[in-house]
Amino acid sequence: MLLKPQDIFVLLKLVAIGNDDWSYNRLSLSLHMSSSEVHAAVKRALTARLATLRDDRAHANVRNLKEFLLHGIQYTFIPERGELTRGIPTGFSAQPLAGMLVSSDEPPPVWPDPDGNLRGQAFSPLYKSVPKAAREDVKLYELLALVDALRGGYARERSIAAAEIKKRLDRYGAIGESEY
């Protein structure tokens, strides 16, 4: 069994929705993926112990997901970078990192998207439908941007993104009684 980038995409959506009920159909609609792709992603995440079952429903395994994101994702799902293009900001050019870092002379990383609002260097998303799904869910968008900073950012960006990811995953881990 090999993890696929969309497995992380699905797990981040589970983190973003927190304690809300979900179904494979609703996840597939919100992620712009087929139900079978979502089901397969959840199955792989469970096998890899990045998710656990609680009340017959998959939930992100905070400890393992955090460890994978902080120490493995930059080596596993390496982003492809392309030319300058119009797109949606990600990594250091998106919230929450955009306000924390001084901008450099480098073009900002963007997910290529004709409806995007920023011109920057193309940065491949984890999955082809990431830009659509991110436009519809701010929490998911911020998680994906932080993960992209871990995947392809410089040391300072990765450090700040790691601290922010830890906070968000820890909040998700405490969801049993509260909302993310």
pLDDT at 56 (0 to 100): 87
Q: Which long-range contacts does 80-83 make (Cβ < 8 Å, 24+ apart)? A: 80/122, 80/123, 80/124, 81/109, 81/121, 81/122, 81/123, 81/124, 81/152, 82/112, 82/121, 82/122, 82/123, 82/124, 83/121, 83/122
Q: Look at residue 175 in the predicted model and tell me its pLDDT.
A: 62
Angle at 75 between CA 72 and CA 76, to 5 degrees: 80
Q: What is the pLDDT of residue 55?
A: 85
Query: Whole-structure pTM over 0.75, yes or no?
Result: yes
d(CA 117, CA 49): 37
| Tokens, residue 119 | 């011109």
Burial class of residue 81, CB neighbours in 10 A (0-12, 13-18, 19+): exposed
Q: How far apart are CA 166 and CA 30, in angstroms?
A: 24
Evaluate whether 15 touches 143 at the Cβ level (below 8 Å). yes
Residue 155 has a pLDDT of 92
Phi/psi at 58 (5° precision): -75, 140
d(CA 83, CA 146): 22
Report the alpha-carbon angle 169-175-180, nearest 5: 65
Q: Specify the CATH number of the domain 5-74.
A: 1.10.10.10
Judged by DSSP in three states, 22 sits in coil
- Domain locations along the chain: 5-74, 79-170
State residue 18's pLDDT score.
92
Q: For residue 97, what are its two tokens? A: 């990192």
| Average pLDDT by stretches of 10, the chain with 180 residues | 95 94 95 97 97 92 97 96 97 89 81 95 97 97 98 94 96 61
